[in-house]
Amino acid sequence: MPESRSDEGAKVYTQQSPEALSRLLSAHLPHSLALLRRLQFTKFPGGITEHARILYASDVTLSPPPPPLDPGVAPDEAKAAAVAMQVNYPFTAAYLDISRGPETQMWIYSTMERHGGRSDDGGSGNIHRDNNGDEKDRRTALRHTASILRAARRIRDDAVTGLGWSASPLGPCILAGSLSETLRTALRDEFKIAFPHVGLYDKWLLDVREMPSLHADDDDARNDKEEPGLLEAGMRRTVKLLPSMGIMLENSTPIAWCFLGPDGSLSSMHCEGPYRGRGFAKAVVAKLLRHRLRDYGGDDSTLCCADVASDNLGSQGVCRSLGGTIGWTVSWSTIDLDTVPVK
């Protein structure tokens, strides 16, 4: 895979995500879920553009493990061992596509996110945590995050020139999706990085294996059809690429629908007014997760999330009824890259 080291200390990969990075992110679930899913989405038709960049910053090099010297060690075991060596080291990784503005341009994960939030102890349980080293690791991970953002600033400037723009669609800013509040507030407080617009959401975590069996039970919809690929004219280009599911009446009128976003999160859950409270929203979400989440691939294909506003009681109720729990707080925020400090 083509790669280059930027002058900001971050590795920059083009077009495809390194397998080693996906394995590393899998070891940091659930906090790394949004970025991992976005990298998996690059394998979807239209899931990546020529302008996309995958960034990685750490004191530990991310590289494929060498072939095992011991003929008795399987290649997969060697890869797992190599990843295990990297799991405990601080790092930051991100997916960036400046050309997607004003839609979401960045997803980012930093190991410092494990040091805050309501779900610190969640995940696979294979991350060793040493309380004496937590603060040092936190600051190291923050330093790596600053390196990523400096590299993003350079990529933004190069992209504006390369795309023939007079300026980036959001000016000096980029839009970051599902950004951990633990990470955002640390960047704001310690580096004085500006976030001009911040929209806060609860991160709901759901596991397909733990969802109850649900179906819409209503006389008016007894013969309704559950149709994949519900698309409406005029939808934005990105939305048309997303896995979707809808419930329609026999006359093909849609009454409930939902999408999985590029980061694998539940998106645009909707049920028409006359059909609310009858189980249609829950049924379409459950159907979508059971049948389409696997498209993202990986051994983690049962884990899903939803970023839901705290005042969106309807969507909160759907997530709760599906066995979901709130993990931590995230935001969809604009990051003013011009406020990222020089080294």
With a cut of 60, say whether residue 223 has pLDDT above it. no
With a cut of 50, say whether residue 200 has pLDDT above it. yes
Mean pLDDT across the stretch 211-226?
Answer: 52
Tell me which amino acid residue 140 is: T
Tracing tokens 């400037």 back to the chain, one arrives at: 157
Residues 221, 247: contact at Cβ < 8 Å?
A: yes
* Residue 256: its H or E element: strand 254-260
SS3 254: strand
Q: What is the DSSP string of 79-142?
A: HHHHHHHHHTS-EEEEEE-GGGTTS--EEEEEGGGGGSSTTTT-S-S-----HHHHHHHHHHHH
More confident residue, 145 or 82: 145
In the structure, what pLDDT confidence band is assigned to residue 79 with cuts at 50, 70 and 90?
low
In the structure, what pLDDT confidence band is assigned to residue 214 with cuts at 50, 70 and 90?
low
Report the pLDDT value the prediction gives residue 155, as an integer from 0 to 100.
93
Exposure string (b/e) for 59-80, b if CB count within 10 Å is 16 or more? eeebeebeeeeeeeeeeeebbe
SS3 166: coil
Convert the pLDDT of each residue in 131-140 to its tens digit.
Answer: 546 889 999 9
Range in 17-21, 166-170, 319-323 with the lowest mean pLDDT: 166-170
Q: Which residues contact 211 (CB under 8 A, 6 or more apart)?
A: 286, 289, 290, 322, 323
With a cut of 90, say whether residue 312 has pLDDT above it. yes
Q: How many CA atoms lie within 13 A of 302 on its CB side?
A: 7
Q: Which of 266, 9, 2 is nearest to 151 (CA)?
A: 9
Convert the pLDDT of each residue in 237-261 to its tens digit.
Answer: 455 678 888 888 888 788 888 999 9
In the structure, what pLDDT confidence band is assigned to residue 230 with cuts at 50, 70 and 90?
very low
Return d(Cα 101, Cα 62) in angstroms, integer.
29
Convert the pLDDT of each residue in 39-72 to its tens digit.
Answer: 999 988 888 998 999 999 999 888 665 555 455 5
Tracing tokens 């049948």 back to the chain, one arrives at: 291
In the structure, what pLDDT confidence band is assigned to residue 308 with cuts at 50, 70 and 90?
very high
Mean pLDDT across the stretch 89-116?
Answer: 92
With a cut of 70, say whether residue 119 has pLDDT above it. no
Tracing tokens 């004191």 back to the chain, one arrives at: 59
Q: Which of 158, 160, 156, 144 is nearest to 108 (CA)?
A: 144
Tracing tokens 């409406």 back to the chain, one arrives at: 232
